Structure 1
Amino acid sequence: MATVLVTGSSDGIGRQTALDLVTGGHRVVLHARSDQRAEQARAAVPGAADVVVGDLASLASTRALGEAVAALGPLDAVVHNAGVGGQDERRLTEDGHELIFQVNVLAPYLLTALAPPPARLVYLTSGLQAQGEPHLDDLDFASRPWNGMQAYSDSKLWDVVLALAVARHWPGTLSNAVDPGWIKTRMGGSGATDELPAGAETSVWLATSDDAEARVTGRYLHRRRLREPHPAATDVDLQEQFLATVARLTGVGLPTA
């Protein structure tokens, strides 16, 4: 039995991931952005062991969440599922960062840096990472014309960069990025082609399976199969520049293994 934290588990792929883990006999810690959403998560996944609350659009709240996660004790796996999709308008958080970048990139980085390294890390990305542009000098879209889907694609590229960078720095942790596919959720929209179980399957497998194929690290996967990520994601110099940038923005560096 593994103990697994799933962020953003009150809805969509995160909730399905949590349900599948509970069904598989694992101990699951849910996450929600508010107390109200936490109650919804408990009701939706009644077999979960616990729930932690933290708004990923706030660095202060994310830091508090990181402390709460650390207090849980060692985790076997963390599935960084929480995220927001493309926005019609550029929105800033209370910290002055563009919303998509903060929730999809800064928050999982900060949680990774604050919590004790688990045995396995799974970062949800998207096939749109292939269209991401690695503008380290304009992560918040302060200079570029606003394009919500480009901002989302960029964030998903940075999620792959994060997963691969952590894999290099923490050789004792299996760290991978997963494209769940185009899933029928509120974010995926009515035109999505795949059902929820398909979106959760690879994350559950990577988080818990003893299959040799699941015990990889520093890789990008879709439907349990290895895929080649955006070429920028494997650029070690870019990974290091990214880690230095997000450490400066959050005030927290990635600890040594």
Structure 2
Amino acid sequence: MKTALVTGGNRGIGLEVCRQLARRGYRVVLGARDVDRGEAAARALAGEGEIVARRVDVTDFASLPGVAAEMEREFGGVDVLVNNAGVLLDEEMPVLELPIETAKATFETNVFGALAACQAFVPGMMRRRWGRVVNVSSGASLLAYMQGYAPSYSMSKTALNAVTRQVAHAARGRNVLVNSVDPGWVRTDMGGSSAPRSVEKGAETIIQLATLDDGGPTGGFFKDGQQIPW
């Protein structure tokens, strides 16, 4: 049985990804900063498959190698990493008034947290010569269309796409496929109730990339099952 870790898995798109991977026969580690909320979310998915909650705070960089070692001992390693944890702190802030501390906090989770998770888990995938990494990005990352929306969030997702390219290159030739996904505007706590997409729709392409066959694409950006320009 393959093991999938989903960061930020206790709600929204992350929770739906946990559900769908469990239904496909993966052992799912539902990662959450608050372990009580993670365990409650895992209980809510009882009957979907094997889902266990673990405390995974991607901004606690020093803890992640220990989490990876624990999962090596317990499960034989993590085969699928979904970097879903993310924050949106500056939706209404113009860039010239954006507090630098807000930008730093955004990058800490959305970029450095994802990078730290890759550094903790991808080397094991490379040793085993099998792995899938999905970085949950956003259409707000697209430089060709970027304007004033949520500046630190948008810039962080552009940087996350660069992490995807870098890690895909580092893992080349080891059957570790690393891609970014734009899930679209989804009805979650972050997306709001007026968003047009359900969490099920938002999770679709994430699941597709997390379950790619050998020889699938790597280093790409995807939406609705199709590769799109950066």
Same fold (TM over 0.5): yes
Letter in 2 for 1:80: N
Query: Hey, what does 1:114 align to over in structure 2?
Result: 120
Distance (Å, rounded) in 2 between the aligned partners of 1:155 and 1:117: 26
> Does the aligned pair in 2 maintain the 1:100–1:152 contact within 8 Å?
yes
Q: Any stretches of 5+ residues in structure 1 without a counterpart?
A: 134-146, 230-257
Distance (Å, rounded) in 1 between the aligned partners of 2:144 and 2:154: 5
Query: Hey, what does 1:234 align to over in structure 2?
Result: none
Letter in 1 for 2:197: D
Distance (Å, rounded) in 2 between the aligned partners of 1:211 and 1:113: 22
Query: Hey, what does 2:225 align to over in structure 1?
Result: 224
Letter in 1 for 2:223: H
> Does the aligned pair in 1 maintain the 2:35–2:54 contact within 8 Å?
no
Mapping for residues 40-55 of structure 1, pairs under 5 Å: 40-46=40-46, 47-55=49-57
Change (3 A) 1:152 1:132: farther
Letter in 2 for 1:223: D
1:56 aligned counterpart, secondary structure:
coil
Distance (Å, rounded) in 2 between the aligned partners of 1:211 and 1:45: 29
Distance (Å, rounded) in 2 between the aligned partners of 1:49 and 1:190: 27
Change (3 A) 1:91 1:16: farther
Identity of aligned residues (%): 34
Letter in 2 for 1:227: I
Letter in 2 for 1:2: K
Answer yes or no: is 1:123 the counterpart of 2:135. Answer: yes
Query: Hey, what does 2:8 align to over in structure 1?
Result: 8
Q: Could you tell me which of 194, 197, 202 is aligned with 1:194?
A: 197
> Does the aligned pair in 2 maintain the 1:184–1:196 contact within 8 Å?
yes
Aligned length in residues: 209
Distance (Å, rounded) in 2 between the aligned partners of 1:64 and 1:148: 33
Mapping for residues 1-257 of structure 1, pairs under 5 Å: 1-46=1-46, 47-57=49-59, 61-73=60-72, 74-87=77-90, 90=99, 92=101, 98-115=104-121, 116-118=123-125, 119-131=131-143, 149-171=150-172, 172=174, 173-210=176-213, 215-229=216-230
